[in-house]
Structure 1
Amino acid sequence: MLACYVVVVARAWSVPVAWGLGAIGVLYAVFLLAPPQLYTDALTYLDYARLGALHGLNPYAHFPAAVPTDPTYAFSSWHHLVSPYGPAFTLLTYPLAGLGVPAAYWTLRAVTVAASLGALALVWRAAERWGRPPLPAVLLVGLNPLVLVYGIGGGHNDAFVVLGLAAGAAALAAGRPARGAAALVVAGAVKLSALAALPFALLGAERRRRAVVGAAVAAGAVAAVWLGAFGLHGPELRAQ
């Protein structure tokens, strides 16, 4: 699979657009509908969501082991660890808690695919804005084996991180530094590691002051939501 990916990326400039986008669509559908893999992350996400939304326990202050009778508990992987995920993603998963576990699982998988496709659309837009051929950029991201197997097949929340990063890149490419920096901050509210891109965006922005203001406003909004929903408790950073 990796060898095929290398060949496609090397010849990306000669791949017809319809073939390239069609390949992404087919592979995304295959990995979405394939039987669940050994990864338990998607069910761990639901375990934390149900811990907060159904059982009334702060997932940043309580372990899943506090409710071992929950149907997701047997399939989750972190029983004695508070949630390592950011507040934006945690709140995003709360509505799934009211669904049955199978429905919640497949809904999360489908939303993950939608997030990944949205990221590819933003990569396309950013490449066009920067005067680069968009298809090679989209193939580089969309056909990456890690994206297909780990992201789509495993239902990992990294798709939402990439969506935020791609939104930031597209906004910066369009000359909107405040929006771009804000998008990167929101991506960091999914996983803190996404904030590694923020200094580069701030330093590279043509209108740096606007980028700093955008980042500050977004950080303030995230902090307000965080404190309102979870208090002073935060994610377990060592697991990110």
Structure 2
Amino acid sequence: MAYSLTPLTQTSKTESAATEHPSGSLPVLLALLLGMGLLALGVILPLRALYFYQAFPGSRLEHWLLLPTHLLFPHQPLISPRHPLDAQALHNANAPLNWRDLLLFWGGLALICLLYLLALRALPSLISYRFILLSTTFLGFTLVLYPALTSQDVFSYITYARIGVIYHLNPLTTLPIAISRDPIYQYIFWTTQPSAYGPTWIACTSLLQWLALELHHNSVWGMVLLLRLFGLAMHLGATAMLWSCSGLALLPQEGPSSRLHLTRLTVTLALAWNPLLLLEACVNAHNDATILFLILLACWSLLHWRRSQWLPWLFAATLFLALAACLKITFIVIFPGLLLFLLAHDERRSLWQRLQLPATVLLVYIGSIVLLYWPFWHHGAVLRLLRVNPSASMARNTPYEFLVHLYATIAGIRLIQLDLNTGSYPEIVAHSIATLLFVLAYGGLCLYTLRRPASIRRLSALFGWMALAWLLFCFVGSTWFWPWYLVSWLGLSLLALVSDQSWQSLLHSRAFAITLALTAFCMLSIYAGYVWGMERTGLPFFPGLQ
């Protein structure tokens, strides 16, 4: 599609007017169509053969939300209120692979990703920032009322919040089995693992649990609703941060222009309407939406610091990155990029002078993490998580899992977990190999950047470095991968693209829109690998590979 652009000398007054009023009915029509596509997917997800989870178990709300699925699929079994692993039918070796339900699921995903692709190609020149916020809120509320979940992590979030707020125990060291009489216990899978998430997330979920108790609502489904609304708020916050960051990154380079305004709208819409980000934030309520918000808040602070050179902005960015690491400790891998950026900031000074600011930032970062973990330390018991976390020894949804199963099939051995939280011996070996490969790749990236400081001297390069570091961890360093892991990568990549003028033309290309739509479709399709029958259907000549 050819974009109609006004001259670059257009005044900011004209741009401001365009910001307030979207053109024509096409934006509203596409927003409604995308909302209808999301509703259609929400009707399909409760089909039991898809192996998903009830979102509001034990509530009348769930009954009403499931009515459309009952009407469209009469006599079809729907999701159980209990965890699918408790369903007797799931353990039936002859459970059929329901291709119709699987194709319906894929069709629903394809539909919303196609509408997303059309929106990225057709809408940026017709919409405003206000329209993006309002339409994203509409789409988010549509998803908040989904009767099904594609991941049961939200029940684990609630469990650890209840451990802290109701039972006054340490969520980072207490096993969920300690509250086995609590109503939430029947819906969780990881019953012998303390919280895999740090103090930042414990604070967020505990605050929501306290709010639910203050509202005299102690049910499980009430907390699911609150967490979904919180996820929507974080997604909207990330959208606002990306809009603000893109303005700070672009406007100092040139005066206000129609081209830069269109670039900002394109990248903001790409984040706001992304199906992967919407589903993970508003349906599964994954905390990666909060992580993305914190990281973009850190980038926003860095952009302010770069303009004013006022050190509190830099320390604020460091604190936000520490908060992200204290939500998921693996996000510590993006912080060294900031140190390398500060080292390359001004080569005219002596080495000692150049080291002072990075050293101060490092102390602030480490000190913030120590202070946040201190109340949960429990004489070092919090470190037990490093041993019992399934991602530390199991292989899921990665090339390492494929290689492990291929080896087991060729060798004719069975993969037997050492215990509920520890993978089999081949998986442990694969994890060690992944760790070694990541150390080599990540070390090479850091060494390359250190030897070529010009490669990270701009903030756009720093944002790109962070995105690449996280991508390396996901696909090289981790044997455990799920779709929501790419939420932060998408946000950082979009910010890096919009901040670098040499790449801005890419934002208006077909390749950009198609890549984002295909990424969302492929990541969400991972859930299709867990339908009944699929995970017990062997490949020809390799019956051990599902």
- TM-score for both structures, normalised by structure 2: 0.41
Could you give the per-residue CA deviations for residues 39-93 of structure 1, whole angstroms, max 9, x where no partner exists? 2211210101112232233222222112211111111231121211111111222
CA contact (8 A) 2:315 2:364 kept: no
In structure 2, give the amino acid aligned to 1:229. F
* Residue 116 (1) aligns with residue 246 (2): no
Q: Aligned partners of 1:12 and 1:90: how far apart in 2? A: 39
Could you give the per-residue CA deviations for residues 172-211 of structure 1, whole angstroms, max 9, x where no partner exists? 1222333222211211111123223222233234477546
CA contact (8 A) 2:132 2:272 kept: no
- 8-17 or 125-134, larger mean C-alpha shift: 8-17
- In our comparison, the structure showing a higher alpha carbon Rg is 2
Could you give the per-residue CA deviations for residues 109-144 of structure 1, whole angstroms, max 9, x where no partner exists? 222211221111111111001105322222122111
Q: In structure 2, which of residues 279, 284, 293 is the aligned counterpart of residue 163 of structure 1?
A: 293
Alignment of 1:126-141 (within 5 A): 126-131=245-250, 133-141=263-271
In structure 2, give the amino acid aligned to 1:148. L
Q: 1:60 to 1:27 in 2, by over 3 A?
A: same
Could you give the per-residue CA deviations for residues 11-33 of structure 1, whole angstroms, max 9, x where no partner exists? 55424115433331221111122
Q: Aligned partners of 1:162 and 1:226: how far apart in 2? A: 21
In structure 2, give the amino acid aligned to 1:14. S
Q: Aligned partners of 1:80 and 1:32: how far apart in 2? A: 29
Alignment of 1:79-228 (within 5 A): 79-98=191-210, 99=213, 100-101=218-219, 102-131=221-250, 133-175=263-305, 176-205=313-342, 206=345, 210=357, 213-228=360-375
- TM-score for both structures, normalised by structure 1: 0.87
Alignment of 1:10-21 (within 5 A): 10-11=121-122, 13-17=124-128, 18-21=130-133
* Residue 25 (1) aligns with residue 144 (2): no
Cα-Cα RMSD:
2.4
Aligned to 2:114: 3
Provide structure 2 residue ranges, at least 5 long, that are not aligned to the other structure. Answer: 1-111, 251-259, 306-312, 347-353, 392-479, 481-546
Secondary structure, aligned partner of 1:83:
coil
CA contact (8 A) 2:241 2:300 kept: yes
Q: Aligned partners of 2:304 and 2:338: how far apart in 1? A: 13
* Residue 64 (1) aligns with residue 170 (2): no
CA contact (8 A) 1:164 1:184 kept: yes
CA contact (8 A) 1:189 1:222 kept: yes
Aligned to 2:253: none
CA contact (8 A) 2:124 2:269 kept: no
- 78-87 or 95-104, larger mean C-alpha shift: 95-104
Q: Which has the higher contact order (CA 8 A, sep 6+)?
A: 1
Q: 1:68 to 1:182 in 2, by over 3 A?
A: same
Provide structure 1 residue ranges, at least 5 long, that are not aligned to the other structure. Answer: none
Q: 1:24 to 1:96 in 2, by over 3 A?
A: closer
Aligned length: 240
1:238: Cα distance to partner? 4.6
- 130-139 or 205-214, larger mean C-alpha shift: 205-214
Secondary structure, aligned partner of 1:130:
helix
Secondary structure, aligned partner of 2:189:
coil
Q: Aligned partners of 2:357 and 2:124: how far apart in 1? A: 35
* Residue 42 (1) aligns with residue 179 (2): no
In structure 2, give the amino acid aligned to 1:74. Q
Q: Aligned partners of 2:186 and 2:366: how far apart in 1? A: 36
Q: Aligned partners of 2:315 and 2:367: how far apart in 1? A: 14
CA contact (8 A) 1:47 1:64 kept: yes
The percentage of counterpart residues that share the same residue type is: 23
Q: Aligned partners of 1:7 and 1:149: how far apart in 2? A: 19
Q: 1:82 to 1:149 in 2, by over 3 A?
A: same
